[in-house]
Structure 1
């Protein structure tokens, strides 16, 4: 407790911390609030950090940015003059302090003699990934909290392949951060000095143009897009974020000229005043888009989150109703579209591979297998998809076609190494156009066709917010209890396999045999049902939540809906009992 008090006193009194920070901390009278702000440093995980914007070691602020960036700078300097010259690319989204945090990071890096490419305005996260590769930089930073509530911001680190920083490199950065116990003495370079030295270079439109040219190359039917794209009516909302310019430009350059942008959500707004919070998974984020959809009789509603790495989709059915797709449904539709069209065009390679996460629907596996396409399943988090793509590329044992995760993240192509809402928007629009023009189908019709062929797979999620020290302890208790009890069935459905990624061991409950799991260690439990479907449980790596994933397979939609509802009720009742002990 003394350490907490000492930290609080240092941040409240020392002149290194600005007056705004000291004043904010002086106003806090609740000991629990002080404890929560100072009992730990905001955790730097495998991808970076994320937290509530406020003063304190366990919050997002410029002093935390300085300390983390200093650790990154030292790792870059370990690569000598060549690594320092290759430098770091920095992008940011529309959140509070995003631009200020990005500049703070840039000036700490330049103070260490590291070259920095700083975007001239907000940009999508996937463009940051592209820019790292395009500029042959050693690393990248994007300041964003993605789809989290407005109180949050974050800091994600990328390495030279454009993917999120790999675990070994993340550990090296973390060790540098932890080695510096003193919060004082990290002084950024003066802005004008950084510019004058040539270490700080502002980039923008030249990267946009090159990126958009690569996006256009992903179109499978560019002639159809040019000739008929204007007939597809689209409503798009960037949800006050960074996707506005590039999504619109990408669609327009391919021929999709009938795009209405939701005006109330077009411009950056760190308060996200028009939505509960800016997550395209949530139906409420489409409320305004639906209004403009009805006015324009739009066929398709698209929404990207604040850093435009996620895409949400709503389709108009023949009766004029707007139906929102789940992340898994979007992933399956894009998987089917890409593989079927490439096969028809004769461009599907023999070693074609898709990559998805273990939390995503097994329906995609069935679709891919029907085209004799290999499926690689990886841990939850898009960085694992990017790492597997890199592994395939370097080992020359597969050709990446598409990757997705159920949380609305999708990727095609080889020039970005993270989920990309711009690429997904273009491919989804083209798929909608293709099936309407050539087969007279909506994407909902196509989804029904896929269900009829492979079975009705439905999925859902639940999350429990468990914050602070007590929350972490409760998450541990839940995971320990689920590990210790041998669960043979859920909702009357027999469990075939239990995979424990923390222990890296799986067990077939029918044969009693155990088998090794080759994916990296992670606190994840996956219960796979006989005949298809699963329940998966994992504490979030970026938020104070424990997440539950549900997937069921049935012969009819009604049966699948009933099974899913009952399964969720039983599992969450079981979790409530564990918490009550």
Structure 2
């Protein structure tokens, strides 16, 4: 133990001294010199982890912070990987987009200049743009890779970077490992060189892209509608409140809805324009109720049918609808997915274009209601453990192999994929489909809220919830592993009729079924997650992602009515959280 601590202190001191001896920009040098001893340890005990979702961290000096050197190190690794593919890959280039948060544009420019310095062509968006548009642009421009500078729903003092492959999907695990090996050649990015901006532009290595990509993306969006009759009949009467939460999607989402025929789109002035600090929202999360107070006020004033909210890079969307009392209620990502999928399949069946080999992809920690809806239409559902990295990769594989026709994908965070031209979360496509769905139901004298109630009457009453535990200290990853190990060996017990039926250990790729003597393999990438299925089909799961010191816990059940579902969900939640609290 003492040897480990001594080695850690030595590594921290070595890294800190390297930074002190480097010619940092003045503002970074000042921040470095003002660090207290405890802050130095926290800032330099590791490098920010680079994994399936790229890298995310608080902005500041140090190897455990997101800064220009974090960006340079990753982009040099990406440059080396692209150069290893040859001159053609270098000329195909890399597309770079960014969200509106503080420093995002500067980080994107740093990424551009590192790549340009390695003779790799770069296409840089001229303004803050959605990540779904970036994913589209990678394939539209036939690029070798893509970079999104954004940090999802994290607070304004965080930033991050996510990589995309040439297939337009979040970068696959194998490529991440390959880039990570190249990154090892640069310990902290301090020795990575960036090209002069004027030289990069004059040499043609840096190309700024603008409205031409917007126009192309909007044109492809015209593939989304299924019931143009409903839109023609009812679109002008559907009132929508739209808020990008001071992110990237306000203008382009408004244009997409308008082009689809929806003219009654109302914005929230305080949340409509991009903002460096997200000054009018509490963390830019579309599922935070306090972020929806202003949209609900406007919705009440205009008698809106639905409220649509996005996260900063338009990767996630939340949907709010009226309940039977006229009050606006926020639907969960699971409920929204069930509604969108049900409507899509209904329309495809009506148009006689529902493929026999269709498939729906869902995160392992999402509702089984979607699976039931798909099954009733003869459609298969598959689970993925690695989020939209897995969804995007499978979309590309299915298109190449012809094994399945992709129909729909979603995760528990409000990310939706609806059409093959974007192989990532696309809140704008989801918004267009949600608007069309609202128009169609309105033309029948119904509402989205009523249709959700009908789904429960048809398929049973599903209920889901989630909770989180935050780990502290530099050894949080070890703490998390211990908790998962203990929970795996000591899962909570439940009352009569609630025996454990199946355990999915995504760490080892094993499925343990109480009805079978031997374990079987799970056909899914490795993940730091566990999922438990009880005798009545209720389930709960635990997951932690490298780089994020948060243990997420998920719960789900299906019962004969809403009251029974709430009661069972509460019982499962209480037992699981009590067991976890005794371990953490």
TM-score where L is the length of structure 1: 0.97
C-alpha spacing 1:559/1:72, structure 2 compared with 1 (3 Å) = same
Task: Determine which of 351, 358, 363 is the counterpart of 1:352.
Answer: 358
Report SS of the residue matched to 2:160: strand
Segment drifting more, 307-316 vs 391-400: 391-400
Is the 1:457–1:533 Cα contact (8 Å) retained in structure 2?
no
Task: Determine which of 155, 158, 181 is the counterpart of 2:161.
Answer: 155
1:315 aligns to 2:338 (yes or no): no
CA displacement, residues 411-465 of structure 1 (integer Å, 9 cap, x when unaligned): 1111101010000000011111101112x22111111111111111100110111
Q: What residue number does 1:270 align with?
A: 276
1:499 aligns to 2:507 (yes or no): no
Report SS of the residue matched to 2:224: coil
Report SS of the residue matched to 1:330: helix
Is the 1:303–1:313 Cα contact (8 Å) retained in structure 2?
yes
Q: What residue number does 1:387 align with?
A: 393
* 1:279-318 equivalent positions in 2, closer than 5 A: 279-318=285-324
* 1:570-581 equivalent positions in 2, closer than 5 A: 570-579=575-584
Is the 1:353–1:374 Cα contact (8 Å) retained in structure 2?
yes
Q: What residue number does 2:252 align with?
A: 246
Is the 1:468–1:544 Cα contact (8 Å) retained in structure 2?
no
Distance, in Å, in 1 between the alignment partners of 2:308 and 2:77 is: 38
Q: How many Å apart are 1:10 and its aligned residue?
A: 2.1
Report SS of the residue matched to 1:109: helix
CA displacement, residues 26-67 of structure 1 (integer Å, 9 cap, x when unaligned): 1111x2221111011111112311100011001100011111
Distance, in Å, in 2 between the alignment partners of 1:217 and 1:181 is: 46
Q: How many Å apart are 1:489 and its aligned residue?
A: 3.9
Distance, in Å, in 1 between the alignment partners of 2:278 and 2:366 is: 29
Distance, in Å, in 1 between the alignment partners of 2:194 and 2:354 is: 50
Is the 1:50–1:153 Cα contact (8 Å) retained in structure 2?
yes
Q: What residue number does 1:14 align with?
A: 22
Q: What residue number does 1:539 align with?
A: 544
Distance, in Å, in 2 between the alignment partners of 1:320 and 1:541 is: 43
Task: Determine which of 4, 14, 20 is the counterpart of 2:12.
Answer: 4
Is the 2:76–2:115 Cα contact (8 Å) retained in structure 1?
yes
Q: What residue number does 1:25 align with?
A: 32
1:343 aligns to 2:376 (yes or no): no
Distance, in Å, in 2 between the alignment partners of 1:490 and 1:79 is: 58
Segment drifting more, 380-389 vs 463-472: 463-472
Distance, in Å, in 2 between the alignment partners of 1:183 and 1:426 is: 42
Q: What residue number does 1:38 align with?
A: 44
Distance, in Å, in 2 between the alignment partners of 1:126 and 1:145 is: 14
C-alpha spacing 1:486/1:463, structure 2 compared with 1 (3 Å) = closer
Report SS of the residue matched to 2:65: coil
CA displacement, residues 533-575 of structure 1 (integer Å, 9 cap, x when unaligned): 3101011345220100100111110111111122212111111
Is the 1:11–1:21 Cα contact (8 Å) retained in structure 2?
no
Distance, in Å, in 2 between the alignment partners of 1:395 and 1:513 is: 32
Task: Determine which of 324, 336, 341 is the counterpart of 2:330.
Answer: 324
Q: What residue number does 2:519 align with?
A: 514
Unaligned runs of 5+ in 1: none
1:255 aligns to 2:255 (yes or no): no
Is the 2:48–2:547 Cα contact (8 Å) retained in structure 1?
no
Distance, in Å, in 1 between the alignment partners of 2:347 and 2:467 is: 35
Distance, in Å, in 1 between the alignment partners of 2:299 and 2:517 is: 54
Aligned residue-pair number: 576
Task: Determine which of 525, 531, 534 is the counterpart of 1:526.
Answer: 531
Distance, in Å, in 2 between the alignment partners of 1:101 and 1:486 is: 44
Q: How many Å apart are 1:328 and its aligned residue?
A: 0.2
C-alpha spacing 1:489/1:498, structure 2 compared with 1 (3 Å) = farther
Task: Determine which of 190, 215, 218 is the counterpart of 2:224.
Answer: 218
Q: How many Å apart are 1:468 and its aligned residue?
A: 3.5
Report SS of the residue matched to 2:291: helix
Report SS of the residue matched to 1:150: coil
Distance, in Å, in 1 between the alignment partners of 2:517 and 2:337 is: 34
Any runs of at least 4 consecutive aligned residues in structure 1 with deviations exceeding 4 A, and if so which?
Answer: none
Distance, in Å, in 2 between the alignment partners of 1:485 and 1:149 is: 36
Q: What residue number does 1:411 align with?
A: 417
Task: Determine which of 529, 537, 562 is the counterpart of 1:557.
Answer: 562
Distance, in Å, in 1 between the alignment partners of 2:382 and 2:50 is: 28
Distance, in Å, in 2 between the alignment partners of 1:254 and 1:211 is: 13
1:205 aligns to 2:218 (yes or no): no
Q: How many Å apart are 1:350 and its aligned residue?
A: 1.3
Unaligned runs of 5+ in 2: 1-8
Q: How many Å apart are 1:116 and its aligned residue?
A: 0.2
Segment drifting more, 368-377 vs 526-535: 526-535
Distance, in Å, in 2 between the alignment partners of 1:341 and 1:528 is: 33
Segment drifting more, 364-373 vs 568-577: 568-577
TM-score where L is the length of structure 2: 0.96
Distance, in Å, in 1 between the alignment partners of 2:457 and 2:324 is: 19
1:111 aligns to 2:100 (yes or no): no
Report SS of the residue matched to 1:469: coil
Report SS of the residue matched to 1:493: coil
C-alpha spacing 1:490/1:402, structure 2 compared with 1 (3 Å) = farther
Q: What residue number does 1:567 align with?
A: 572
CA displacement, residues 306-363 of structure 1 (integer Å, 9 cap, x when unaligned): 0001001110134211011000000111110111110011111111111111111111
Report SS of the residue matched to 2:152: coil
